[in-house]
A and B are shown apart, each in its own frame.
Chain A
Amino acid sequence: MEHYLLEMKGIGKTFPGVVALDDVSLFIRYGEVHALMGENGAGKSTLIKVLTGIYPRDAGEIRFDRNGFSPTGAAQVQQAGISTIYQELNLIPHLSVCENIFIGREPKTRGLIDWKTAEKRAKEILTDMGLQEVDVLGPLRKQSVATQQMVAIARAISIDAKLVVMDEPTSSLSEKEVQTLFRVIETLKEQNISIIFISHKLDEVFEICDRATILRDGRLVGQYSIGDLTKLKLVSLMIGRDATSVLGKNKSVSTGREDRQVVLKATNLSRARRTTEISIDINSGEIVGVAGLLGSGRTELARILFGDEMQDRGRIEIGGKSARMKSPRDAIRLGLGFCSEDRKEEGLFPNMSVMDNMTMAVLPELSKAGVLSRRAQLEIAQSYIDKMGIATSGPNQPMKELSGGNQQKVLLARWLCKNPMLMILDEPTRGIDVGGKAEIENLITELAGDGVAILMISSEMEELIRSCDRIAVLSEGRKVGELAAKEISEEHIMQLMAHGSDSREDVHGP
C-alpha cells in the first residue's frame, strides 16, 4: 500500500442551506505538485479550510504524515508542517513587508525580536524571487496586489513545511512572476515537499502539476494523472458536460463601432515618480488594453483616471470637456466606472448582502429623495445573478460567504448595472473559472458593442489579445508604445516591454 503525505477521506461540510463538500477525498503524495480543480464554488477553498481547521468538518477523516490530524489553530497547522496561501490573502496591510513575512515566527535573540536579521532574511528571500526592488520596511499596503501575492508566497515557502497549499497564488501575477513561482515550486519538489496548487489557468496546471483532483458541486469527480488529461477532458470533467463550446474561444468580432467618439483623452499624466507623461485616449465602443509588467504603473494609471489619485501634471478630458476629478465620486458622476483588482481591500463589503454589494453604485438611481426601492434593487440583483451564473443561495446571502470567483462576478455586475460611459477594468477575470472567463469576455465585448468605452488592464496577455482593439504598453511608469488591432500579438507586446526598459536605460544610463 502506498503511503501518502496527506489523506483526506469522506470529507463533508455543510453551511446553512448549502452542502459545500460531500464525501470528498484528497490524497497527496510526497514531493508531488497536486492540482485541485473545479469551477467557481465547487468547494476547493472550503476543502483547504477544512484541512487547516478554519472550518470544522462535519464528516470524514484526515491523516497527515501518517498521523490523525484535527487542527484547531493556525499554530498547530504550521507546526505539523503545513503552510498555506489563502485565496484572500491574510496578510496585514499596515505592517511592513518584512513583518508580514515573519509574523508569528520572528527570529529572536535573548527573547527579543531581532529585526536586523529578519530584515536581512526577508531581503534575501525576496531577492531570490526576483523582487529585489521591494522596500521590505515599507508598509505592505503600498505594494501592488501582485507583489502582495508574492510576499504571501515568500512567507509560505520560508516556513519549514512538508506541504505548501496555494489557493490561486497566481491570480494577479503576470507571466514573469509565474515563472519565478514555478522555479520555486521545482526547488520545493526537489526537497520532497508536496504542493497543493489551485488555479483557473489551465496552462499553469499542465506546466507544473503531476496529478489533479477534480471537484464539481462539492463532490469528488476523480483523481487523475496530468499526463492522462487534455485541456478539453479536464474542463469537461470540471463542468460535467462536453467542453468544446467553452474552450472554442475566437477573437471576438466587434460590431457597430463605426461612429466612434473620444470618451476620454488624457495628456501627459505624471504623478510622483511612478507615472511619467502618459497620454492615452479611449473612444466609445472600443476596448483598449493596458499591458505591462509588475510595477509598470498600470493600476496607478487607472486610479488617476478614476479620480482616486490626483495627477501632479497633465490633463484629462472627458466627453471633450476638461475634467478635474477630486474623488472617485466625481468620476462616477461623469460616467466612469472602476472595478479594482484588489477584491478584498477595494471591492467587497463582506458583511453586506450580495444584493447590496451589487447595487451599491446605482443606489442613487434606485431611490427617490434618498428612499430606496427595494424591489428595483432586488430585480437588478436577481437578473445579474441569473445572467452571470453567480452561485449564491440568494440576493440576501452575505457577500463573505460566496466563493472567490463568484464574488468577482458580483463586483463586475456592480459596474455593469451602472451602465457607465467608460469602464475601467483592472484584472476583470481574476479568479473566475474557465467557462466564466469566456462568458465575461463576451459580456465585455457586448458592452463595447453597445458603445461603452473600456479600458482593460490584465496580466494575462492572451486575454488582452483576444479582446482588445488597441493595446497600450507601459513600462516603469511610462507608455512605451501602442499597438493597433492589426499589430497586436504576444511577440509585439513583449518586444515593446523589453524595448521600453532599454530606452529608459539609454536616457538614464551612465
Chain B
Amino acid sequence: MDRNVNTPINTSTGWLKSIAWAEILGNYGAQLVFLTLIAACALSTPKFFSLGTLEITLLDVFPVMLVALGMTLVISSGGIDISVGAIMAISGAVTVALYTSGVGWVLSMGCGIGAAALCGLFNGVLISIFRIQPIIVTLVVMIAGRGLARRIQVDPTTSLKSTPFDTLGLYRIAGKVPVQIVIMLAVIAVMLFVVKKTVFAKNTEAIGDNPRAARLVGVNTLTTTVGVYVVCGVLCAIAGIMTIARIAQLNAVTLGGFIELDAIAAVAIGGTPFSGGRARILGTITGAIIVILVGVIVGLNKMPDDYAKVFKALIIVIAMWAQRRK
C-alpha cells in the first residue's frame, strides 16, 4: 500500500523553539536537576569532590536506591507499595532474632529475606486476586508489619558490634570499595537487564498500562503482580539487612522509617509515570541520588534537616512540572 507515511520535518529554528525544550525537559528533567545539584554542592562545599564525600554519599544512597528500584517496578505495574519501610524492619528483625537465638548468620539473613518475600507475596496476592487497591493492601502491611517487627525484636535496640554483621557492614572488596557499593551496582545492572530485556517487565508494564487488555493478550496477571511485589520485598530486605549491618545495630522502630516517601520521591523525580506502563530505571537512579544529595547539601551547610524536606518537595514539584506533557 502506498499510503500516507508521516513526513519527517526539517530542523528549523521554529521547530527548535516549540519542541526541543519541552522534549529535553521531559526526558532529562531529573538529569538536569541532578547536574544543578552537583554544581550547587561543588560551589557550597570545596571538599565535595573528594573521594570521601562521594563514598559517604553513595553509602547513604544505598537503602533508598534499592527500595526505589523495587518501587519503580511496582509503580510501572500501576501499583504502589508503602509497606517498604515495614518490610525492611521485618526482615531486619527476623534476621537478628534468629541470629541471637543461635542460628548461623547466613541462614538468618536468608530467613530475613524470605520473610520479606512473604510480605511481597501477601501484597501481590491481595492486589491481584482480591482486587484490593494497592495503597490499601500495603498500608495494612505497613501498619501491621511495623508492629510485628517490634514484637519479633525483643530488646528495643540490639547491638551487633563484633558479629559477622558488623564485619559485613564494614567490608571492603579488595580492601577498597565498600561492599554496599558493589551490591548497589549489581542490583542496578540486574534491574536494567530485567526492565529492558525480559518478558516479565513487558507484562508488568502492560498490566500497569491497561490491566483489562493485559488479561486479554494472555498475560498471567497473578504471577506477574506477585512477582513485582516479591522483587520489591526482597530489595527491601537487602536494604534493611545491609543498613543494620552498617550501623551494627537494630532498631525495629526506626529502621526504614519514612523510606517509602524518599523512594516514591525518587521514582517521581526519575520520570516513571504514576499511571503505570513505563519503568524508567535510569531516572530512578538519578532520582534516588538527588533525594539524598539534598540532605547532604543541607547537612554540609549546617542547616537544620527540616530544610531538606522542603527542598525535596520543591524538587518533586519541579520534576513533575517538567514532565507534565507526558
B217–A414 touching, CB < 8 Å: yes
Contact yes or no, B278 A352, CB < 8 A:
yes
Binds B, one of A316-324, A359-367, A475-483: A359-367
- Write the B190-214 contact mask toward A (1 if CB under 8 angstroms, else 0): 0000000111101101100110111
A345–B149 Cα distance when bound, in Å, is 42
Interface residue B5 (Cβ < 8 Å from any Cβ of A): yes
> Which single residue of chain B is at the shortest CB-CB distance from A366?
B199
Bound state CA distance, A328 and B214, in angstroms? 10
- B4–A329 CB distance below 8 A: no
Given A16-B23, A328-B215, A414-B217, A391–B278 Cβ distance below 8 Å? no
Give Cα A391 to B9, complex, Å. 15
0/1 string, B15-39, CB within 8 A of A gives 1 = 1001100010000000000000000
Are B4 and A39 within 8 A (Cβ)?
yes
Chain B residue numbers with a CB within 8 Å of A328 are 215-218
B15 smallest CB distance to A (angstroms): 7
B7 contact from A42, A217, A345, Cβ within 8 A = A217
Q: Note all chain A residues with C-beta closer than 8 A to B275.
A: 351
Contact of B199 among A14, A348, A372 (CB under 8 A): A372
Contact (Cβ within 8 A) A371 B202? no
Is there an interface contact between A374 and B197, defined as CB atoms closer than 8 Å?
A: yes
Contact among B5, B19, B199 for A363, CB-based, below 8 A: B199
Contacts of A239 in B (CB 8 A): 3
Determine whether the beta carbon of A356 is less than 8 Å from that of B218: no
Indicate if B6 sits at the interface (CB-CB under 8 A): yes
**Once the chains bind, are A389 and B3 in contact (CB under 8 Å)?**
yes
User: Are B4's CB and A217's CB within 8 A?
Assistant: yes
Do the beta carbons of A391 and B15 come within 8 Å of each other? Answer: no
Q: Which residues in B have their C-beta under 8 angstroms from that of A367?
A: 198-199
Contacts of A206 in B (CB 8 A): none
Q: Per-position contact with A for B270-281: 1 when CB-CB < 8 Å, else 0? A: 000101111000
Q: Is the CB of A370 within 8 A of B199?
A: yes
How distant is the Cα of A19 from the Cα of B10 in the complex, in angstroms? 10
Most buried by A among B3, B198, B199, B206: B3
Complex Cα gap A157–B319 (Å)? 41
Partner pick for B3 among A16, A338, A391, CB 8 A cutoff: A391
Given A17-B8, A346-B216, A352-B205 in contact, is the A371-B197 Cβ separation under 8 Å?
yes
CA distance A338 to B212 in the complex (A): 13
Interface members, chain A 309-361 (any B CB < 8 Å): 327-329, 332-333, 338, 340, 345-352, 356, 360-361
- Tell me the smallest distance from the CB of B295 to a CB of chain A, in Å: 32
In the assembled complex, the CB of A340 is this many whole angstroms from the nearest CB of chain B, namely 6
Query: A428 in the interface, Cβ–Cβ < 8 Å?
Result: no
| Chain A residues within 8 Å of B205, by CB | 349, 351-352, 356
- Is residue A500 contacting chain B, with contact meaning CB distance below 8 A? no
Give A329 to B214 CA distance when docked, in angstroms. 10
In the complex, the chain A residue whose C-beta lies closest to that of B198 is A370
Cβ–Cβ < 8 Å partners of A218 in chain B: 7
Q: Tell which of B197, B200, B217, B277 touches A351, judged by Cβ atoms closer than 8 Å.
A: B277
CA gap between A39 and B2 in the complex, in Å: 12
B4 adjacent to A14 (CB under 8 Å): no
Bound complex: CA of A146 vs CA of B99, how far in Å? 64
Q: How far is the CA of A389 from the CA of B1 in the complex (A)?
A: 6
Say yes or no for B220: interface residue by CB 8 A criterion: yes
By a CB distance below 8 angstroms, the chain A residues around B15 are: 14
Q: Which listed residue (A346, A352, A374) contacts B206, Cβ 8 A?
A: A352
Instruction: Decide if A96 is an interface residue (CB 8 Å cutoff).
Output: no
Which residues of chain B from 212 to 235 have any CB-CB distance to chain A below 8 Å in the complex?
A: 212-220
Q: How many angstroms from the CA of A333 to the CA of B205 in the assembled complex?
A: 22
Docked CA distance A58–B190 (Å): 44
Which residue of A has the minimal Cβ distance to B207? A349
Tell me whether A340 and B216 are in contact (CB under 8 A).
yes
Whether A19 contacts B200 by the Cβ 8 Å rule is no
Decide if B3 touches A435 in the complex (CB within 8 Å).
yes
A162-193 CB contacts (< 8 Å) to partner B = none
Identify which of A19, A348, A363, A372 contacts B9 (C-beta below 8 A).
A19
In the complex, the answer to whether A348 meets B210 with C-beta atoms within 8 Å is yes
How far is A398 from B237 in the complex, measured between Cα atoms in Å? 35
Q: Is B220 touching A17 in the complex (CB atoms < 8 A)? A: no
| Chain B residues with a Cβ closer than 8 Å to the other chain, count | 37
CB distance from A350 to the nearest CB of B (A): 6
For the complex, what is the distance from the CA of A357 to the CA of B104, rounded to whole Å? 49
List the A residue with the shortest CB-CB distance to B220: A329
With both chains docked as a complex, state the minimum distance between the C-beta of A494 and any C-beta of chain B, in angstroms: 32
* One of B18, B198, B210 near A14 (C-beta < 8 A): B18
Given contacts A391-B5, A392-B6, A435-B1, contact A345 B212 (CB under 8 A): yes
Chain B, range 155-201, C-beta contacts under 8 Å to A: 197-200
> Hey, which chain B residues are within 8 Å of A17, CB to CB?
6, 8-9
A388 to B15, CA, bound (A): 30
**Which chain A residue lies CB-closest to B14?**
A58
Q: Which residues of B contact A351 (CB under 8 A)?
A: 205, 209, 273, 275-278
CA separation between A70 and B203, bound complex, in Å?
41
Given contacts A349-B213, A414-B217, contact A39 B3 (CB under 8 A): yes
Contact of B202 among A348, A363, A414 (CB under 8 A): A363
A 225-246 contacts with B by CB, 8 A = 239
- Tell me whether B6 and A350 are in contact (CB under 8 A): no
Q: Given that A17-B8, A363-B199, A372-B199 are contacting pairs, would A338 and B209 also be in contact in the complex, using a CB cutoff of 8 Å?
A: no
Docked CA distance A18–B210 (Å): 26
Instruction: Give the Cβ gap from B193 to chain A, nearest Cβ, in Å.
Output: 8
A277 at the interface (CB under 8 A from B): no
- What residues of chain A lie closer than 8 Å to B214, measured between beta carbons? 349, 360
Complex interface: chain B residues within 8 A of A364 (CB): 199
Known: A16-B19, A360-B202. A352 touches B209 (CB 8 A): yes
* Residues of chain B within 8 A of A361, CB atoms compared: 217-218
In the complex, what distance in Å separates the CA atom of A321 from the CA atom of B51? 69
CA distance A239 to B1 in the complex (A): 11
A18 touches B6 (CB 8 A): yes
Bound-state Cα–Cα, A33 to B201, Å: 48
Selected from A41, A308, A388, the residue in CB contact (under 8 A) with B6 is: A41
- Chain B residues within an 8 Å CB radius of A360: 202, 206, 214, 217, 219
Interface code A1-44, partner B: CB below 8 Å = 1, 0 otherwise? 00000000000001011110000000000000000000101100
With a CB–CB cut-off of 8 A, which chain B residues contact A371? Answer: 197-199
- Taking CB atoms, residues of chain B closer than 8 Å to A19 are 6-7, 9
Most buried by A among B216, B273, B275, B276: B216
Known: A356-B202, A367-B199. A18 touches B9 (CB 8 A): yes
Q: Can you show 15 pairs from A to B with CB atoms below 8 A apart? A: A16-B23, A19-B7, A218-B7, A348-B213, A349-B206, A351-B209, A351-B273, A360-B206, A360-B217, A363-B203, A371-B199, A374-B197, A391-B4, A435-B1, A435-B3
The list of the 9 closest CB pairs from A to B, nearest first, reads A389-B1, A351-B277, A332-B218, A349-B209, A18-B6, A217-B4, A360-B217, A329-B218, A361-B217
Q: Report which B residues bind A (CB closer than 8 A).
A: 1-9, 15, 18-19, 23, 197-200, 202-203, 205-206, 209-210, 212-220, 273, 275-278
